[in-house]
Chains A and B, each alone.
Chain A
Amino acid sequence: MKRTNKHSVLSNILLIIVLISVVFPFLWVLVSSFKNEADIINYPPKMFAGHYTLANYVDIWKTIPMTRYIINTMIYAVGVCVISITLDSFSGYALARMRFRGRTFFYYVVMVTMFIPFAITMIPLFMELSEFGMINTYPGLIIPHATTAFGIFMMRSFFVGLPEDLAEAARLDGLNEFQIYFRIMLPLAKPQLITLAIFSLMGSWNDLLYPMLMTTDQSMRTLAAGLALIGGQHITYYGPVMAGTIISMLPLFIIYMFAQKYFIQGSAMSGMKE
Chain B
Amino acid sequence: MENTSRWSRIKTYWNQPKHVGYLFILPSLIALLIFAFIPVVIGLGMSFFDVNIFFNGTKFVGLQNFVHFFSDTRAVNSIWHTVYFTVLETPVQILVGVLCAAALARNTRFNRFCRSTFYIPVVCSLTAIGLVFNMLLDPNIGLFPHLLKEIGMTSPDFFGDAHWAMPTIAFLTVWKSFGVTMIIMLTAVQAISPSLYESAEMDGASRMQQFFHVTIPQCVPALGFCVLTNLTGSMQVFDQIFVTTGGGPNFKTESTVQYIYNRGFAAPYELGYASTVATVLFVIIAILAVGSNLYMTHKENQMR
CA gap between A176 and B19 in the complex, in Å:
13
Docked-complex contact B125 and A120, CB < 8 angstroms: no
- B216 contacts partner chain A, Cβ-Cβ < 8 Å: no
Cβ contact within 8 Å between A228 and B20: no
A208 touches B238 (CB 8 A): yes
Residues of B close to A249: CB separation below 8 A:
123-125, 128
Contact A231 B131 (CB under 8 A): yes
Give the chain A neighbours of B110 by CB distance below 8 A.
Answer: 12, 15
Selected from B32, B187, B226, B239, the residue in CB contact (under 8 A) with A110 is B32
Does A272 sit at the interface, judged by CB under 8 A? Answer: yes
User: A117 and B183: CB pair below 8 A?
Assistant: no
Interface string of B234-261 (1 = CB under 8 A from A): 0110110011001000000000110011
Is A64 an interface residue, CB under 8 A from the partner? no
Asked if A124 and B24 sit within 8 Å, CB to CB, the answer is: no
- Asked if A11 and B114 make an inter-chain contact with CB atoms under 8 angstroms apart, the answer reads no
Chain B contacts with A in 218-241, Cβ cutoff 8 A: 221-222, 225-226, 229, 232, 235-236, 238-239
The segment out of B60-68, B86-94, B96-104, B197-205 that lies at the interface is B96-104
Q: Which residues of chain A (81-140) have a CB below 8 Å from chain B?
A: 87-88, 90-91, 93-95, 97-101, 103, 106, 109-110, 113, 115-128
Q: Which of B99, B130, B236 contacts A118 (CB 8 A)?
A: B236
Bound complex: CA A93 to CA B20 (Å): 12
**How many Å lie between the Cα of A26 and that of B146 in the bound state?**
18
Count residues of B near A (Cβ-Cβ below 8 Å). 102
Interchain CB contact under 8 A, B187 and A268: yes
Specify which chain B residues have a CB less than 8 angstroms from the CB of A43 in the assembled complex: 140-141, 146
A98-B257 in contact given A21-B175, A120-B39, A248-B125 (Cβ < 8 Å): no
Cα distance A26–B122 in the bound complex, in angstroms: 13
Residue of A whose beta carbon sits closest to that of B188: A271
The answer to whether A227 touches B131, judged by C-beta atoms less than 8 angstroms apart, is yes
Q: Tell me if B287 is interfacial: C-beta within 8 Å of chain A.
A: no
Q: Within 8 Å CB of B35, what residues of A?
A: 121, 125, 128, 143-146
- B151 adjacent to chain A (CB < 8 Å): no
Whether A120 contacts B25 by the Cβ 8 Å rule is no
Chain A residues, Cβ within 8 Å of B146? 43-45
Task: State in angstroms the CA–CA spacing of A126 and B150 once bound together.
Answer: 50
B104 touching A15, Cβ below 8 Å: yes
| Cβ B128 vs Cβ A113 within 8 A | no
Determine the chain A residues whose CB is within 8 A of the CB of B119 once the complex forms.
256, 260, 263-264, 267
Taking CB atoms, residues of chain A closer than 8 Å to B118 are 18-19, 22
In the assembled complex, A205 has its CB within 8 A of some CB on chain B: yes
Q: How far, in angstroms, from A128 to B36 measured CA to CA in the complex?
A: 11
B residues touching A (Cβ–Cβ < 8 Å)?
A: 11, 14-22, 24-25, 27-29, 31-32, 34-40, 42-44, 46, 96, 99-100, 102-104, 110-111, 114-128, 130-136, 138, 140-143, 146, 150, 175, 179-180, 183-188, 221-222, 225-226, 229, 232, 235-236, 238-239, 242-243, 246, 256-257, 260-261, 264-265, 271, 274-275, 278-279, 281-282, 285, 289
Leading 6 A-B pairs by shortest Cβ distance: A271-B184, A206-B125, A94-B24, A124-B39, A100-B21, A98-B21
